[in-house]
Amino acid sequence: MMMKREGEVRIPSGCAIAAVISKEGKRMSGQKIYECMKPMHDRSNGLGGGFAGYGIYPEYKDLYAFHMFFDDRDTRKLCEAFLKERFEIVQSEIIPTRKIPEITNEPIIWRYFVAPLKSMTEKMQIDEKEFVARTVMKINTQMKGAYVFSSGKNMGTFKAVGFPEDVGVFYKLEEYEGYSWTAHGRYPTNTPGWWGGAHPFTLLDYSIVHNGEISSYDANRRFIEMFGYKCNLQTDTEVITYIMDYLIRVKKLTLKEAATVIAAPFWSTIEGKEDMEEKERLEYLRKLFPSLLVTGPFSIVLGFDGGLMALNDRLKLRSMVVGEKDDKVYIASEEAAIRTMEPDAEKIWAPAGGEPVIVKVKDGAY
Amino acid sequence: MSIQYIYPEFEVIRNENRCIACRVCERQCANEVHSYNEDKKVMISDESKCVNCQRCVSLCPTRALKIVKSDCTLRENANWQNDTIKEIYKQAGSGAVLLSSMGNPKSFPVYWDKILINASQVTNPPIDPLREPMETKVFLGKKPDVIQRDENGNIKCEMPPQIELSMPVMFSAMSYGSISYNAHASLARAATELGILYNTGEGGLHEDFYVYGPNTIVQVASGRFGVHEDYLSAGAAIEIKMGQGAKPGIGGHLPGAKIVGDVSKTRMIPEGSDAISPAPHHDIYSIEDLRQLVFSLKEATEYKKPVIVKVAAVHNIAAIASGIARSGADIIAIDGFRGGTGAAPTRIRDNVGIPIELALAAVDQRLRDEGIRNNVSLVVGGSIRSASDVIKAIALGADACYIATAALLALGCHLCRTCQSGKCNWGIATQRPDLVKRLNPDIGSERLVNLMNAWRHEIKELMGGMGINSIEALRGNRLMLRGVGLNEKELEILGISHAGE
């Protein structure tokens, strides 16, 4: 039997995650974030690493930045023709990379800064974000050999098959500056490794890095696919990203509300709540979205425009610690990674299971 | 003996060395198999009347009795089997439709037994239900599309009526009339203690059982027996019965002999009159008519009760369910072809309908393909036999299961499949007061509670093994299932992979 490609088979994986954000919106180079992955080397197995940076494209901040992988030149040409029917392409270029022996077999890696054509969104009677989301789904589902791995504004993900610290060097992340960064090292258990399968996984400006293997996967997937999402990669991270997009962008829940959907408190905990309004709200959300409860171990960092949210599964079956220093907040699977970024980090703590840590950049600073 | 003589199916074996002629067997057998021969001072048997209900065996104080299948058979023939030939003799004698009880006993595939459940190893941890919370609570009902907020941005927590169940199992519909007062009392009391629901069936609700209303589903079937305003408002939900897995496409017939006393009063029909449920509801000849009945019942109960529409699993079930999901119903109950019955024409019971496993998989997938799975909850029945069947049903996509045969077994039923005779020695499918009193509702309800608690433990163990700590995360989680010995088409319909994939 031929080994199945990623997306044709479900792939569980263990991992390392890390993140940093400046509440003041101060921009940091991407170097620290990839260096902090070194002490967590053994949490990855060289089959995937990646990063997301926010605030990295200030000169194009009103345009959607599509980062794409292509198998070959023909696919790229085909895809560009498709994009031109739907977007104004303001800039199109190769993403700069560095040749290093640790990273090989790279696909064609390209980025486009685009604005949706008004005529298209009006014709389809949907807003810009929905239009972009549907376009990404269409390319990733229907266009063989083309893959959009980043599609937000003023943010971008960079990922590859390799150890994360090497992936950072490969993409020259030290040349980018962002107000927040997330990082991921992957330990998949049954894949030859595919570039698109590395984390972060993104849709619009939402990005997710995730450590864990969720046991609710197919319940979540089969529910979310009712609403136009297509889980092409069959990874946990992909389905969690779509769930967050659905809850926050489509259903207009707050981050905290969304967190109580995917890591819902136990019924017994809800029962014990004394604040009646809170109790009623928690009960309502659990009744409303039973199929979006995520069980099994996970620690995730959700990146979005202007902030980060870290969340553990409700039993806290995966490690995750948070630390602070001045305007910066650090999150990682292990304290060692935080110490690499900031040796003097303070207030190191492990958030409880299901308790979201939400950090936002102050208004106007990003 | 005549041409149509059929040698008795069972033999009563009495160990004369053990028999003390206490005559318990004689008193216990409503079929009058046993009698005492005064002259010879021995017990004798007329096995032609025996239905193998095991009542005498169970109560014989010296274990002197056993019932065995007779080895007097016709010449073996793979095509013309014994049962087939005997049925022909019966029909040649009577000119009548053959009647049977309980579920289809034929050797059709049982898909539950060809599906295996997953467990966690290494990459994620199993969860120990003795140490960690393991949630089995479910809510059934329509989920709203839009989240409303007030002027302060707070969520308005209003929701269509929901049924709360402490575990995803309910006692399925069995009417008062088809089963006894004490059987109903046992079911009602057990459901209340367990925090689940039982179902009245189509015979109305005895006035003594109104107190169990919050744990009762009241049924409205084509005969509309016992339906009135207080009845509709008495339960936690209303079920419109369109069909039954054991006899899709036909109605019901409770003979006048069983319409006595309280049964007649509860059904609101005269004593001794046959209670005939027509095959269709005569106000529902199409899906738009169903919608009208759904909303009539909602109007009558001020939109406070979820409405369940129960249908038999038939060939086109996915499209039918899709229609029902758009009819205003809150819950769809699907009854598979192995579902039990108090009486059904044998040919219908044994040849009509489809397996619940396939029906469930097809319906759940169709509702998802159409984006309307959230409009309704799905309840499935028709031979759910164990906690692992429940787990498999939930993972295929059910919100909850209906059980009835399993519940009757807990009450003492030995599945002799002769409910239609009305002479149930276990006090379940009978209205004879001397037989009914054999079923003690204190013991009956306790046994039902035990059974459900046992299943709940097993459900938790199975969930924990999969690393799932809430039943909600199992619903529709088909990756947790694998098929064994199923062909490509069966796997495709079930939406699962083969073991080893």
Same domain membership, residue B258 and residue B153: yes
In a domain? residue A271: no
**What is the predicted pLDDT for the residue at A363?**
86
Q: How far apart are CA B143 and CA B159, in angstroms?
A: 7
**What is the predicted pLDDT for the residue at A41?**
86
Same domain membership, residue B346 and residue B283: yes
Task: Give the range of the structural domain holding residue B193, as residue numbers without chain letter.
Answer: 138-476
Q: How far apart are CA A171 and CA B330, in angstroms?
A: 53
**What is the predicted pLDDT for the residue at B249?**
93
Could you say which of B42, B70, B96 is where a domain stops? B96
In a domain? residue B117: no
Same domain membership, residue B21 and residue B168: no
Strand partners, A13: A188, A212
Q: Which of B120, B137, B159 is closest, CB to CB, to A284? A: B159
Same domain membership, residue B442 and residue B344: yes
Nearest CA among A198, A246, A251, A199 for reference residue A221: A246
In a domain? residue A270: no
Mean pLDDT of B143-168: 94
For residue B476, which amino acid is it? G
Cis peptide before A200 (omega within 30 of 0): yes
Yes or no, beta carbons of A294 and B373 under 8 Å apart: no
Task: Give the range of the structural domain holding residue A147, as residue numbers without chain letter.
Answer: 13-253+293-360
Return the DSSP state at A159.
Answer: E
User: What is the nearest CA distance from B52 to chain A, expressed in angstroms?
Assistant: 45
In a domain? residue A340: yes
Q: How far apart are CA B225 and CA B237, in angstroms?
A: 17
**Chain A residues touching residue B498 (CB < 8 angstroms):** none
The residue assigned the tokens 């995937």 is A48
pLDDT by residue (tens digit) across A242-289?
999 999 999 999 999 999 999 999 999 999 999 999 999 999 999 999
Cβ(A4)–Cβ(A181) below 8 Å: no
The residue assigned the tokens 């897995």 is B245
Same domain membership, residue B143 and residue B90: no
Same domain membership, residue B408 and residue B272: yes
pLDDT by residue (tens digit) across B405-463?
999 999 999 999 999 999 999 999 999 999 999 999 999 999 999 999 999 999 999 99
Instruction: Kindly tell me if the per-residue pLDDT of B220 is higher than 60.
Output: yes
Same domain membership, residue B85 and residue B148: no
CB atoms within 10 A of CB A93: 9
**What is the predicted pLDDT for the residue at A45?**
82
Domain count, chain A: 1
Task: Spell out the residues 6+ positions from residue A292 whose beta carbon is closer than 8 angstroms to its own.
Answer: A220, A223, A224, A243, A246, A247, A261, A262
Q: How far apart are CA A323 and CA A20, in angstroms?
A: 10
Instruction: Kindly tell me if the per-residue pLDDT of A213 is higher than 90.
Output: no
Cβ(A20)–Cβ(A345) below 8 Å: no
A64-70 and A321-325: which strand pairing?
unpaired
Any idea what the CATH number is for the domain that residue B418 is in? 3.20.20.70
In a domain? residue A258: no
Same domain membership, residue B449 and residue B326: yes
**Chain A residues touching residue B368 (CB < 8 angstroms):** 222-223, 225-226
Confidence band, pLDDT 50/70/90 cuts, at residue B124: confident
Same domain membership, residue B157 and residue B79: no
Predicted TM-score (pTM) of the model is 0.92
Instruction: Kindly tell me if the per-residue pLDDT of A185 is higher than 50.
Output: yes
Mean per-residue pLDDT over chain B, rounded: 95
In a domain? residue A207: yes
In a domain? residue B293: yes
Domain count, chain B: 2
**Chain A residues touching residue B135 (CB < 8 angstroms):** 266-267
Same domain membership, residue B324 and residue B247: yes
In a domain? residue B332: yes
Yes or no, beta carbons of A295 and B468 under 8 Å apart: yes
Q: Which of B157, B469, B476 is closest, CB to CB, to A219? A: B476
Any idea what the CATH number is for the domain that residue B16 is in? 3.30.70.20
In a domain? residue A267: no
**What is the predicted pLDDT for the residue at B260?**
87
In a domain? residue B124: no
Nearest CA among B283, B280, B256 for reference residue B270: B256
Does B147 touch chain A if contact means CB atoms closer than 8 Å? yes
Nearest CA among A330, A263, A251 for reference residue A294: A263
**What is the predicted pLDDT for the residue at A43?**
86
In a domain? residue B325: yes
Same domain membership, residue B252 and residue B349: yes
Query: What is this model's ipTM?
Result: 0.90
Instruction: Kindly tell me if the per-residue pLDDT of A12 is higher than 70.
Output: no
**Residue in chain A lying closest to B367 (CA):** A226
Structure tokens at B198: 């039982």
Q: How far apart are CA B173 and CA B231, in angstroms?
A: 15
Mean per-residue pLDDT over chain A, rounded: 91
Same domain membership, residue B189 and residue B88: no
Sign for the CA dihedral angle at A240, A245, A251, A256 comes to: positive
**What is the predicted pLDDT for the residue at A2?**
53
Any idea what the CATH number is for the domain that residue A169 is in? 3.60.20.10
